Amino acid sequence: MSPRTSTQLQALREERSMQILRAALKVFANQGYNGSTIEMIAREAGVAKGLLYSYFESKEKLLESLITYGLEKASAFLTEPPDGPQHTKEAFAANLRKMVQLFREEQDFWRLYSMLILQPKMAEKFKADAMSFLETYMSVYGSYFQQKQSKNPMAEAMLFGAVLDGLMFDLILSPDEYPLEEVLDMIIEKFA
């Protein structure tokens, strides 16, 4: 029998696991997956490198856990129930700000995710998780462009998607100087 209760044990392991995931995210995002070593991640987490292997079975599985967890967290954030009428200009603006907030709170994650999906082999690996998140995203924005007056709702939705992706990209490249508020107003003016 175990000297500790299994629930206590589970909580401890959960916390260590998160500590390692946080460290891995930071290192992977800054050095890239192949440029990161297990040693770097262990040092960042403040533990010995052998310990990582009692929480994740390999470097590759560690990355997979990180991405799956990150996309699930993002989906959960997006599906928080909206607190007002939908399909209005105000709801559009609120959703837009929510997307930006989602991104800014998890910059490192989106930076890493962007790096990975640019490589075919990695994109393949995360296809399922990515599709799942895309569905969540579409449930937030999909209907907006359908009910809105537009010559070509599908093209407008695609373009808006590109705007979000490009905005994310540009915010990564110059997070401090970027005139975010003005650009958001411009997006609302053109798309809402």
Partner DNA sequence: ATTTTTTGACTGAACGTTCGGTCAAAATTA
Partner DNA sequence: TAATTTTGACCGAACGTTCAGTCAAAAAAT
The footprint of its own copies (CB under 8 A) covers 30-35, 111, 114-115, 117-121, 123, 151-152, 154-156, 158-159, 161-167, 169-170, 172-173, 178-179, 182-183, 185-187, 189-190
Q: How far apart are CA 192 and CA 170, in angstroms?
A: 21
Q: Phi first, then psi: give them for residue 178, nearest 5 degrees.
A: -60, 130
Q: Which stretch, 5-13, 72-80, 142-150, 172-180, contacts DNA (CB under 7 A)?
A: 5-13
187 binds, among DNA, its own copies, none (CB under 5 to 8 A by kind): its own copies
* 149 binds DNA per the rule CB under 7 A: no
Does residue number 47 form part of the binding site for DNA (CB under 7 A)?
yes
Alpha-carbon Rg for the chain in angstroms: 20
CB of 26 to DNA, least distance (A): 15
Among 11, 58, 119, 173, binds DNA (CB under 7 A): 58
Q: Which residues contact 30 (CB under 8 A, 6 or more apart)?
A: 108
Cα separation, 87 vs 145, in Å, equals: 9
Q: How far is the CB of 177 from DNA (least distance, A)?
A: 33
3-state helix, strand, coil in the chain (%, to 5): 75, 0, 25
